[in-house]
Structure 1
Amino acid sequence: MTGHRTLRATLTALPLAAALGLGLAAPAGAEPPGIPDPATAKTQLDELKVAPEGSMDGYSREKFPHWIDGPDNCNTREAVLKRDGKDVQVGSDCYPTSGSWYSPYDGDTWTQPSDVDIDHVVPLAAAWRSGAADWTQEKRQQFANDLEGPQLIAVTDNVNQTKGDQTPDQWMPPLADYHCEYASMWIGSKHKYELTITDAEKSALQKALDGC
C-alpha cells in the first residue's frame, strides 16, 4: 500500500498479517547503521547494567535538541529520510520532493514524507529514565541526532506515535518478524550509550533474540 491513509490497514490487523507471513522484507539500506548481529546483541545485552527505571523529574524533549543541521545544511530528520528511503529526490532546502519509504515496523510503504516519523529507537524519555538525566546537554543532543548508530529509523507515523516512550516489555513492532532486528537495535543503542535496562526489559529483549 502506498502513501494514502484511506488504504492503510488498521493496526489491529497487522499482527494477523505478520502471523500469516504477509509482512514484506525491508529493502536494502532502509535501516540505520551499526545494528549488531544477534550473537553480538546477546553479548551486549549481558553487559548492560540492570537497574530500576529512574524518575521523569526534570524531563523535557528540549533537553535533547533535535533535529539539528548537519554540515550539508540538511537536518537530522531530512538525512534519515534520504538514507532510509528509496529513489529519494530532495529540493534545495533538503526536504524530499519524491521517493518512497518502507516502514519495517508494520510493512507499509509511503510516498509522502509527512506520513513518516523518524523514530528514536530508544525513546528520549526512556533514555532519560535509564541514565540520560545525568548526561550533559551536548551528549543528549548527540544521542537524539545519532546517524552513526542504530538509534534513528524512518517508520509509519502513527505506529511511532503508538509506541510513545514505551520499552520492549511494553511495546514491540506490529510485525513479529521484525522483533529480532528491533531488539538488536535497542540493545545496540543502549550499549553504545551505556544506558541501563530493567529486569522486565531484559526478559523481553532476550525473548526477541531467542526468536532470531
Structure 2
Amino acid sequence: MSRKRVLWLAIAVVLAVIVAYQTVSSANERSAWFVAQADIPTITPGVDVLAGVMEVPQRIRGHDYRRAAFGDTWTDDTTAPGGHNGCDTRNDILDRDLVDKAYVSIKRCPKAVATGTLHDPYTNATISFVRGNQTGASVQIDHIVPLAYAWDMGARNWTDEVRTRFANDPANLLAVDGPTNQDKGDQEPARWMPPNVAFHCQYAMQFIAVLRGYGLPVDAQSADALRRAAATCPAAA
C-alpha cells in the first residue's frame, strides 16, 4: 500500500471522524477517538486498543435491516478531499484511493476517474480500473464497518441524517477488490478479516476508529479478533 494512499486515509479519518463525533456526540453525549497518522499505526504496549468501546456478548442480527435506511444512494455531502464538488462519495473515494488516474466529466461530476490503478489493501493485488458497465465487478467501495453490522449494533436507533452520514463517511470507506468485498459481505471481524495479513493492523485500527467515532459497541468475538489484528501493529517508540 503506497505511502500517499495511507496519508489520504489518515487525513480522511481525521476529518470524517471529527464530523461524526460532532454529530453523534451531540445526540448521545459520547466521546470520540480516532487514529491519525500517515503510516502504519503504532500501539503502546499494555494499552487496550478497545478501551472505552463497549463490548456485548454477541451480534444479534436484525431481520429489520434495510439498506435504504442509510440513504438510497451516495451523496455529495462528504468530508473526503474535494467534497461538495458535484461528485458523489463513490467518485471521491475512487479519486482518493486510485493512482495513475485519467479523468472524464460525467453528469454533475466534472472530474470522475475514467481509468486508474488500485493497489488493493485487502488482497495486495494490483487492479486496473476502467469506468464502464462492469466497473463494480472489479473495484468496489467497501464499508469497513458494514452497514448491517452497524444497524445490529445500534444504528437502527440513529436519525436518518446520522445513518446517511455514516454510509458516506470516508473514514469508513475503502476502494477494494470487488470479489473480495462480495466475499466479506456484512461479516464482522470475528468472521472475516482481509486475506492480506499485512493489512490487518490498519484494518483493525480503522474499524476501531469508526466504532469509537460513532459510539458503536463490538461483539466479544470480534473484539478478540480486533485485538489480535492490532497486536500485529508495531509498538510505539
TM-score for both structures, normalised by structure 2: 0.73
Measured in 2, the distance between the counterparts of 1:44 and 1:76 equals 29
Confirm or deny that 1:138 pairs with 2:161: yes
The answer (yes or no) to whether the contact 1:59–1:128 under 8 Å persists in 2 is yes
Confirm or deny that 1:59 pairs with 2:65: yes
How much has 1:46 moved relative to structure 2? 1.4
Q: 1:112 aligns with which of 114, 129, 132?
A: 129
Q: 1:44–1:140: structure 2 CA closer, same or farther, 3 Å change rule?
A: farther
Aligned to 1:5: none
Confirm or deny that 1:46 pairs with 2:51: yes
1:26-37 alignment runs, 5 A limit: 26-31=1-6, 32-33=9-10, 34=13, 36=35, 37=41
How much has 1:101 moved relative to structure 2? 1.1
How much has 1:44 moved relative to structure 2? 4.8
Q: Percent identity?
A: 35
SS in 2 for 1:112: strand
Q: From the two aligned structures, give the one with the greater strand fraction.
A: 2
RMSD: 1.7
TM-score for both structures, normalised by structure 1: 0.81
Query: Unaligned stretches of 5+ in structure 2?
Result: 14-33, 36-40, 78-83
Listed one character per residue, the Cα deviations across residues 163-182 of structure 1 (whole Å, up to 9, x for unaligned) are 00111110000011111111
1:188-203 alignment runs, 5 A limit: 188-203=209-224
Query: Unaligned stretches of 5+ in structure 1?
Result: 1-25
The answer (yes or no) to whether the contact 1:106–1:174 under 8 Å persists in 2 is yes
Aligned to 1:3: none
Listed one character per residue, the Cα deviations across residues 17-36 of structure 1 (whole Å, up to 9, x for unaligned) are xxxxxxxxx01232423272
1:1-212 alignment runs, 5 A limit: 26-31=1-6, 32-33=9-10, 34=13, 36=35, 37-39=41-43, 43-51=48-56, 52-65=58-71, 66-70=73-77, 71-93=84-106, 94-113=111-130, 114=135, 115-147=138-170, 149=171, 151-212=172-233
Q: 1:197–1:46: structure 2 CA closer, same or farther, 3 Å change rule?
A: same
Q: Which runs of 4+ in 1 moved over 3 A?
A: none
Measured in 2, the distance between the counterparts of 1:28 and 1:39 equals 19
How much has 1:98 moved relative to structure 2? 2.0
Aligned to 1:18: none
Measured in 1, the distance between the counterparts of 2:202 and 2:214 equals 19
